[in-house]
């Protein structure tokens, strides 16, 4: 069987082209390429921190390939807390032993934020052979150094997410604060789409590191703005705004953060390509953005900051004082916020990075 080219693979993964997500990926040629690679695939160690298990649950909902195919034919999941019967020192021993045996060759997947307060005592993952408690933060400092690639799955692991929302007494942070930032691939989302997780793993296993944007997200899935591919965009351009959820019209006035948020939700769709947030009459709450959730709340209220520079031809047509936030203007807006620490870094982080 001819090996599928990287170019073809990328094309299949691009939802805007395929419109049905990775279901197109599970064509025989790709499946065969996966299976061939599977024999020598590096082990995956999946660790959970301060999380709700939603990212793992999202992964279980993968359709093409389904979870059975994923686990038995594609990836080599050596450890996942949900599939392990071990606890205490048996768990940490297994993790350390596997990481030592595969030093420089395993993929570390982290789900959930990392609590830093009280030397990380809010998140104890087990104990060592002497009975001393092992915190997540200390475990990760070892595992990240040994891993070939580190993947942060979900907004909590990527940027802190819900776990780091104010007041954040546990001082949760995203993985980028712990590991060598260059090694971390962020797959944000609350939760991330299963295709984003499976597709990123596929890219890594078959062709190497994916191309990342400024926030460490694979461009393959996060390059476009939600707003630019939204089927309600015509409403926006014609100044037709819903005033209540469930009404026709653009959802900007009732809180949609689509103009600030990157992802391919409008074209990939969720739940087996059946719908997505705006399709279900709910505004995008910006769940893939580093600013989520502190700066994208209240979720059902329009952000006044979405009054970016009005430089599109539709600016005059809006006529409601909203202005038009173009992708360019919003990118500058977000970059400015990030550089000034308003996005991605909470106040405590700026006081002393770890």
Secondary structure string (H, E, C) spanning 85-122: CCCHHHHHHHHHHHHHHCCCCCEEEEECEEECHHHHCC
144 is a catalytic site residue = no
Among 179, 226, 269, 273, binds ligand SF4 (CB under 6 A): 226
Q: Which of 144, 172, 190, 193 is catalytic?
A: 190
Q: 324: helix, coil or strand? A: coil
Window contacting ligand SF4 (CB under 6 A); options: 6-14, 179-187, 256-264, 310-318: 256-264
The number of residues in the chain equals 354
Contact between 342 and ligand SF4 per CB under 6 A: no
Per rule CB under 6 A, is residue 236 in the interface with ligand SF4?
yes
Task: Please give the Cα distance from 54 to 92 (Å, whole number).
Answer: 23
Distance CA(302)–CA(256), nearest Å, equals: 7
Other beta carbons within 10 Å of 333 = 19
Q: Which residue has the tokens 């014609």?
A: 238
- Beta bridge pairs of residue 124: 135
Which listed residue (102, 288, 291, 326) binds ligand SF4 by CB under 6 A? 288
Please pick, from the candidates 146, 183, 232, 302, the single residue that binds ligand SF4 as defined by CB under 6 A: 232
Q: Does 276 bind ligand SF4 (CB under 6 A)?
A: yes
Residues in binding contact with ligand SF4, number by CB under 6 A:
23
**CB nearer to ligand SF4: pick between 78 and 288:** 288
- H-helix or E-strand containing 198? helix 194-207
**Active-site residue numbers?**
52, 55, 156, 190, 227, 230, 250, 256, 265, 277, 284, 287
Site residues, ligand SF4 (CB under 6 A): 189, 226-227, 230, 232-233, 236, 250-252, 256, 258-259, 261, 263, 265, 276-278, 284-285, 287-288
């Amino acid at each position: 069987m001819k090996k599928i080219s990287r170019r073809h693979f990328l094309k299949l993964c691009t939802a805007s082209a395929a419109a049905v997500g990775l279901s197109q990926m599970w064509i025989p040629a790709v499946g065969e390429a996966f299976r061939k690679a599977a024999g020598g695939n590096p082990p995956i160690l999946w660790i959970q921190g301060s999380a709700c298990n939603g990212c793992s649950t999202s992964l279980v909902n993968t359709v093409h390939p389904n979870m059975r195919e994923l686990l038995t034919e594609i990836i080599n999941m050596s450890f996942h807390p949900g599939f392990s019967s071990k606890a205490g020192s048996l768990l940490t021993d297994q993790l350390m032993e596997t990481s030592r045996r595969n030093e420089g060759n395993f993929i570390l997947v982290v789900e959930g934020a990392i609590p830093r307060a009280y030397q990380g005592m809010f998140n104890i993952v087990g104990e060592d052979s002497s009975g001393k408690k092992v915190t997540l933060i200390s475990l990760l400092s070892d595992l990240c150094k040994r891993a070939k690639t580190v993947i942060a799955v979900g907004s909590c692991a990527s940027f802190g997410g819900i776990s780091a929302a104010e007041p954040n007494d546990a001082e949760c942070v995203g993985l980028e604060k712990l590991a060598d930032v260059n090694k971390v691939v962020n797959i944000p989302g609350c939760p991330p789409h299963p295709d984003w997780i499976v597709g990123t793993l596929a890219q890594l296993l078959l062709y190497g590191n994916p191309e990342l944007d400024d926030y460490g997200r694979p461009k393959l899935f996060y390059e476009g703005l939600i707003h630019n591919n939204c089927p309600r965009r015509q409403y926006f351009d014609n100044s037709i705004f819903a005033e209540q959820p469930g009404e026709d019209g653009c959802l900007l006035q009732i809180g949609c953060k689509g103009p600030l948020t990157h992802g391919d939700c409008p074209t990939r769709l969720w739940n087996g390509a059946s719908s997505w947030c705006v399709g279900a009459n709910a505004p995008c709450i910006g769940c893939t953005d580093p600013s989520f959730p502190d700066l994208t709340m209240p979720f059902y209220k329009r952000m006044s900051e979405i009054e970016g520079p009005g430089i599109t031809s539709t600016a005059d047509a809006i006529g409601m004082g909203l202005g038009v936030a173009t992708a360019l203007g919003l990118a500058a807006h977000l970059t400015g916020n990030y550089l000034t620490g308003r996005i991605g870094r909470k106040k405590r982080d700026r006081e002393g990075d770890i």
